[in-house]
Amino acid sequence: MRALILTNEFPPSIYGGAGVHVGELTRALRTLIELDIRTFGEHDTTEPGWRVRGYPPATGLPEPLPQLRPLSAALSRDVAMVTDPVDADLVHAHTWYVHLAAVLAKLAYGLPLVVTVHSLEPLRPWKREQLGGGYDVSAWVERTALTMADAVIAVSEGTRGDILRHFPIATERVHVIGNGVDAEFFHPVRETDALDRHGVDPSVPYVLFVGRITRQKGIVHLVRAIQHLDPGFGVVLCAGQPDTPEIAAEMTAGVEAARSTRPNVVWIPEMVSREDVRQLYSHAAVFCCPSVYEPFGIINLEAGACETPVVASAVGGIPEVIVDGETGLLVPVELSDADPMQPADADRFERNLAGAINALMADPPARTAMGRAGRRRAVERFSWAAIAEATVDLYRSLV
């Protein structure tokens, strides 16, 4: 069997959870079947089990408006991906960026179509700030691909419910195959050289955030919650790639305000290596995931695999990863009807986040027990090998 994998991100060019998912899943899949991987970028690799090719944006097209550049680049790459001859038994697409290519491959080559949902455009209206009218196009492309797909993979039960609420898809076509974690790589380490390079004092307990500066990750709420944190421990924000200038400015103002009353706030504004992130996880006293929308949350598994307890918002697929009171603490958040990317009571959410972090910081034995339980859960429940087997089983049911 040969699968055509279409993806925006592919290692080493990854910036989010979808890229981690694709990289780890394909690494496991290539031991089971042949893969033709087509991605954005400049990849060109042929190895046992896969061929990986990158597709740059088309040249010679008129210059689009600034907000429409990501859309224009994605659609031109999609056409190139499918113009290149395809010899596969099915096509499997990840994220809306390649959904046009997936639909064209299904129609032009008569292939069964599988789509993995890492997030849903109807639940990310804040993207209009970033893409303008391009957001409406991305939502249309996503809807077209999902309703045409022979199988839709949801990364959590929560995501499956979201899919069925927002799209007219038969329930039997939506399958739950979760994310996983590379527990062989993500484990506690003693090294601290990465902390030294980034200005983090390993002798001071700290709460850690890792992720992009985007509305859905809730990073601004954590920054505002800093004023409610107990003294005596640090805050490390490994946060880069802001979606818009507006949220970048909001983040900068928030960090400056926090530093005016708390000296031990470290902001690492770039995306760091996996090795550096592993060190940050390993030496953190608590990891915080304040997302207001999170279909799964691989970062919580990575932190858990490094034996770090997690404080996270109880949204989306997070409660399927974090066991409240066992591997961390879940913080309820009620989202606004007017703006689903904002808590109905932001101040209350921020105070509750701070309260949960303070509770764990004040209880080292609980942190140790939760960290060990998190590691066990990551190893036992979230193996990429098992996820790859389930994915191939789904492929076989369609071919």
pLDDT tens figures, 360-396: 999 999 999 999 999 999 999 898 999 999 999 999 9
How confident is residue 295, by pLDDT bands cut at 50, 70 and 90? confident
Cβ neighbors of 280 (< 8 A, separation 6 or more) are: 194, 195, 198, 200, 208, 210, 236, 238, 272
DSSP assignments along 257-273, one per residue: HHHHH-S-EEEE-SPPP
Beta partners for 176?
A: 154
Please report the pLDDT score of residue 124 as a whole number: 81
Cβ neighbors of 52 (< 8 A, separation 6 or more) are: 10, 37, 39, 43, 44, 45, 46
Percentage of the chain surpassing pLDDT 90?
Answer: 80
DSSP assignments along 328-362, one per residue: EEEE--PBPSS-TTSBTTHHHHHHHHHHHHHHHHT
Q: Reply yes or no on whether the pLDDT at 278 is more than 80.
A: yes
Cα gap 236→244, rounded to integer Å: 22
Q: Give the chain's mean pLDDT.
A: 94
In the DSSP assignment, the letter for residue 10 is B
- pLDDT per residue over 233-258, tens digit each? 999 999 988 888 888 999 999 999 99
Is the bond preceding 245 in cis, omega lying within 30 degrees of 0? no
Q: Which tokens sit at 241?
A: 């790639």
Q: Reply yes or no on whether the pLDDT at 327 is more than 90.
A: yes
**What's the sign of the alpha-carbon dihedral 312, 314, 315, 317?**
positive
Q: Reply yes or no on whether the pLDDT at 351 is more than 80.
A: yes
Please report the pLDDT score of residue 309 as a whole number: 98
Please report the pLDDT score of residue 130 as a whole number: 75
Cα gap 22→9, rounded to integer Å: 8
Q: Where are the domains of the chain?
A: 2-180+383-398, 193-381
SS3 218: coil
Q: Which CATH architecture has domain 193-381?
A: 3-Layer(aba) Sandwich (3.40)
Q: How far is CA 211 from the centre of its chain?
A: 8
Cβ neighbors of 161 (< 8 A, separation 6 or more) are: none
Place of tokens 């850690």: 208
- Among 276, 332, 323, smallest CA distance to 304 is for 323
Cα gap 335→143, rounded to integer Å: 24
Lowest mean pLDDT among 60-74, 274-288, 344-358: 60-74
Q: Where are the alpha helices (DSSP H) in the chain?
A: 17-29, 69-83, 99-109, 128-131, 134-148, 157-166, 193-197, 219-225, 245-261, 274-283, 298-305, 346-361, 364-381, 384-398
Q: Give the mean model confidence (pLDDT) for residues 26-32.
A: 96
Please report the pLDDT score of residue 66 as a whole number: 85
- pLDDT per residue over 91-102, tens digit each? 999 999 999 999
CATH code for the part of the protein at 2-180+383-398:
3.40.50.2000
More confident residue, 32 or 127: 32
Please report the pLDDT score of residue 153 as a whole number: 98
Q: Reply yes or no on whether the pLDDT at 129 is more than 80.
A: no
- Do you know the residue count of the chain? 399
Other CB atoms within 10 Å distance of the CB of residue 347: 12
Q: Give the mean model confidence (pLDDT) for residues 15-39.
A: 94
Cβ neighbors of 16 (< 8 A, separation 6 or more) are: 9, 212
